[in-house]
Amino acid sequence: MLPLRLQTLDFPLPGGWQQALAHALAQPHACILDSALPGELSRQSIIAFAPAMWFSATGQSVTFQRARHGSRLEGDPIDLFARVVHHAQAEMPLRSPLKPGFCGGWMGLFGFDLRCFVERLPWPRPQGPLFPDLAAGFYPWCLRLDHSTERCELRLLAGVPGGPASVHELAEELSRLFQRPTPASAACRLGLPCLHTSRDAWLEQVRQVKRHIFEGDIYQANLTRMISREGELDTSTLYAALRRLNAAPFGGYLDCGLGRRLLSSSPEQFLTLADGLLETRPIKGTRPRGADAAQDAALKQELLASEKDRAELTMIVDLERNDLGRISEPGSVQVPKLAACHSYARVHHLEATVQGRLRAGLDIGRILRATFPGGSISGAPKKRALEIIHELEPVRRGPYTGSLFALGVDGSLTSNILIRTLLQEPGRVSYHVGCGITAESDPQAEWDETLAKADALERALEASC
């Protein structure tokens, strides 16, 4: 057994958070949880890199690296990851109290196609972004920025094999790194957008979803489409543009290895867990921001008054209540907020809050099997909606509509829904946009909604060249 002790140190950033991000983005397996639009729900941002362990799964093929040793496993990635997490907790027990917020632990990606291990569903299509289905590192240290105080703190779990020995040694190493000039921007090359689903094909897909609804198969489904552009972009420049042009409370970044990186400016929280309280905040209903204050206020009121959007959100709230009910203490599931309007850089959204108290003894595997993927980006009933999504969408989603997460050594969890997310691969960058389809959906209006959601992503791409 190797007991862990938390060591902390104030760590001022003379060059600011943006410069620290630029340095971090050049590091292997960097992971960032980034509240570029701080608020009540997004009070911290986290930078971590150089994990002590790395877990990566594509389908049932799993690789696990620790220090200089690696192993290959076969099996259900959710079960294997839960087992690795449990083993690490048993091997490295905590021997000191922790502070509020993330203090070290697992950070990474739950890709959308983990759905195949939650429900019996078809394997993902070969076309589309080629990312792991689950990728996570154990990060023994992190830089944590508290947005309420603008104070940056270095946090280290001392005692992790292969990790830093003391917070002071780590601080000296990071200070040397951050004092170097930021990495020079790479040459940029960006092709024209390629629509993997044409407008006419999309409109027909919306009509097919509506036929399923009228036949009683489902109540709603989240339908998405992919856009890609050939070329090479400097990751640091692109991420800076994305967080500037589409500031969001649940953004982030993950280097999955082999030139595969996800850059997210998500407005949506998936799951949080703190002191036994589970919470999810699904989004349904969208309006673009107005050209001036009067138009903006009118669009916000239009969204709040929309029976179609409120009904869509209510259906997803019912689904999320059922999901949380599977792992919560009896009678503890509640809905503190049913339909609140929140405004972001480019759009307004309707959001709800669903909470439950987690039953004792349930691990991350049980939590995922009850709740993943999120209801707002799948549909209701969830399994049938996922089957229809697979039938209609011509490419895999990859990380999109999965989750970027941080699972602390104390069992706390914070995670987003990976929407408004760019996926970088060698020679290509891509993204998806989508919307919820209900019986009242107008196909052209749904197409227009995807254009509004794509706007900030396209602006970020253009600003990076």
d(CA 418, CA 408): 20
* Residue 213 confidence (pLDDT): 97
Q: Which residue has the higher pLDDT, 116 or 184?
A: 116
User: Is the separation of the CB atoms in 422 and 460 below 8 Å?
Assistant: yes
pTM given for the model: 0.94
Q: Left if phi > 0, otherwise alpha if psi is -120 to 50, otherwise beta: which for 150? A: left
The answer, yes or no, to whether residue 271 has pLDDT greater than 80, is yes
What is the percent of the chain where pLDDT is above 90?
77
* Residue 67 confidence (pLDDT): 75
Residues classed as catalytic: 268, 284
Evaluate the CA torsion angle 266, 267, 268, 271 in order and state its sign: positive
d(CA 183, CA 162): 26
Instruction: Measure the CA dihedral 226/232/235/239, to 10°.
Output: -40
* Residue 308 confidence (pLDDT): 85
Q: What is the chain's mean pLDDT, rounded?
A: 93
User: Is the separation of the CB atoms in 409 and 205 below 8 Å?
Assistant: no
Angle at 250 between CA 103 and CA 305, to 5 degrees: 140
At the fourth CATH level, which superfamily is domain 5-181+190-463? Anthranilate synthase (3.60.120.10)
Distances 151 to 17, 139, 146, 147, 187 between C-alpha atoms, Å: 11, 21, 5, 7, 35
Angle at 433 between CA 430 and CA 438, to 5 degrees: 155
- pLDDT band, very low/low/confident/very high, at 441 (cuts 50, 70, 90): very high
d(CA 91, CA 34): 30
What is the percent of the chain where pLDDT is above 70?
99
Lowest mean pLDDT, pick from 65-69, 104-108, 339-343, 399-403: 65-69
Angle at 126 between CA 121 and CA 131, to 5 degrees: 90
- pLDDT band, very low/low/confident/very high, at 38 (cuts 50, 70, 90): low
Name 62's Cβ contacts closer than 8 Å, sequence gap at least 6: 55, 56, 72, 73, 74, 75, 77, 80
Give the pLDDT confidence of 300-353 residue by residue, as tens digits: 999 998 888 898 899 999 999 999 999 999 999 999 999 889 888 788 889 999
Burial class (CB in 10 A: 0-12, 13-18, 19+), 359: middle
The answer, yes or no, to whether residue 150 has pLDDT greater than 90, is no
Angle at 398 between CA 288 and CA 277, to 5 degrees: 75
Give the pLDDT confidence of 168-218 residue by residue, as tens digits: 999 999 999 998 888 777 778 999 999 999 999 999 999 999 999 999 999
